[in-house]
Amino acid sequence: METITLEKRRVSSVDLLRGAVMIIMALDHTRDFFHYDAQLNNPLNMNSTTGVLFFTRWITHFCAPVFVFLSGTSAFLQSARKSKKELSIFLITRGLWLILMELTIVNFVLTFDIHTFALETIWSIGISMVILGLVIWLPFEVILVLGLVIVLGHNSLDFYERKQTGQFSVPYNLLHRLGFHPLGGNFRLLILYPFLSWSGLMMLGYCLGKILRNENRSYRKKFLVVTGLSTIILFIVLRFINVYGDPSQWSKQSTGFRTFLSFINSSKYPPSLFFMAMTIGPSLLFLAWWDNIQNAFTKFVSVYGRVPFFYFVVHLFVLHFITMIFYFYRGHTFVETMNDPVITKFVKGGEGFSLTIVYVIWLAVVIGLYPLCKWYDRYKIDHKEKKWLSYL
């Protein structure tokens, strides 16, 4: 009975963290669709941003790495009820299915167009699952070392990339570099999430699952706190040295505050060592300190963490649909947006709302989707015999 209780509690803590980052993720998407400056300027640009705008974008950096990391953790936890062969097949098939969903459903709700194939978050999770499904046959220690080598060492490719003057190939962009490639006609491939570092991060998340399954609560908490703090210290020390760990170095700015912003502004495409350390370190502390806390707030947040893909697709569609309504309300036409070369349709640079309104829309959409997410969560629980639900 104790083992079952611990297992439920561990899954609950993972769902809580995943739910928190899913809610925060919607803030970034809301800003992309509704902020008047979103299509014109980078909110992380030290020369034009404000503190509030910077942190509105920066806090959402936690979403993708934490979600990929926890996807690996969830995979290990599933090994308690699946054989290695069953888990491998599930990870590979679900990963391929997620890639298909990225190239079809997710791309469409994000762009409302059929000409751009964007490889973003769902693709990175899918391809990393396929890779994890293959490597779980290796000894646990080998998986851990492989994950550490990738996460700690992939930025060595930055030195090679700086020396290149021509365009990188599609295979290399898929591996480690953001890329844009015409596919003929009006079709194009946009690579935002190269898979190498994401797959290494998922392997480390998989290895964390072994710690979370340990029945000694004090050991789990100590491990999470020590590892979390060590990861944060690693980020601070290496970032201060300013030589390795991120393709973009921090620099002294006009004020101390802006210098601090430059210091914590690490690269996401692909996620650098600094980017992953900056986000995963605090997340491990969250798992340690919010372990086994049950109240109305944690139950509310955890719902989003139990139906992540469903929530992801629905919230994107809702945000984009509302954006389209405002687009037509401002007097634009369907023909106008179809002739506009922008990737995301029905979004016009310089049009939109203030950051305050963006926050209002974000909270309204998140809260408004809660009943639907709660219903779907209950549906999955009541229909566990339907294996296809585990792919959603």
Q: Using only C-alpha atoms, what is the Rg of the chain?
A: 21
Which amino acid appears at position 218 of this protein?
A: S
pTM: 0.94
Cα 260 from Cα 252, distance rounded (Å):
9
Which SS3 state, helix, strand or coil, does residue 330 take?
coil
Per-residue pLDDT tens over the stretch 93-109? 999 999 999 999 999 99
Per-residue pLDDT tens over the stretch 293-310? 889 999 999 999 999 999
In the structure, what pLDDT confidence band is assigned to residue 11 with cuts at 50, 70 and 90?
Answer: low
> Is residue 3 over pLDDT 50?
no
| Residue ranges per structural domain of the chain | 2-391
Cβ–Cβ < 8 Å for 19, 297: no
**Residues with Cβ < 8 Å from 147, sequence gap 6 or more?**
200, 201, 202, 203, 204, 206, 207
Average pLDDT, whole number, for the chain?
93
Q: What are phi and psi of 48, to 5 degrees?
A: -130, -15
Cβ–Cβ < 8 Å for 34, 352: yes
> Is residue 8 over pLDDT 60?
no
Q: Give the total residue count for the chain.
A: 392
Per-residue pLDDT tens over the stretch 365-376? 999 999 999 999
- Which residues sit opposite 259 in a β-bridge? none
Which amino acid appears at position 162 of this protein?
A: R
Assess whether the previous peptide bond of 371 is cis (omega < 30° from 0). Answer: no
**DSSP characters for 323-362?**
HHHHHHHTT--HHHHHHS--SSTT--TT-SB-HHHHHHHH
Which amino acid appears at position 6 of this protein?
A: L
The reported pLDDT for the residue numbered 198 is 98
> Is residue 129 over pLDDT 70?
yes
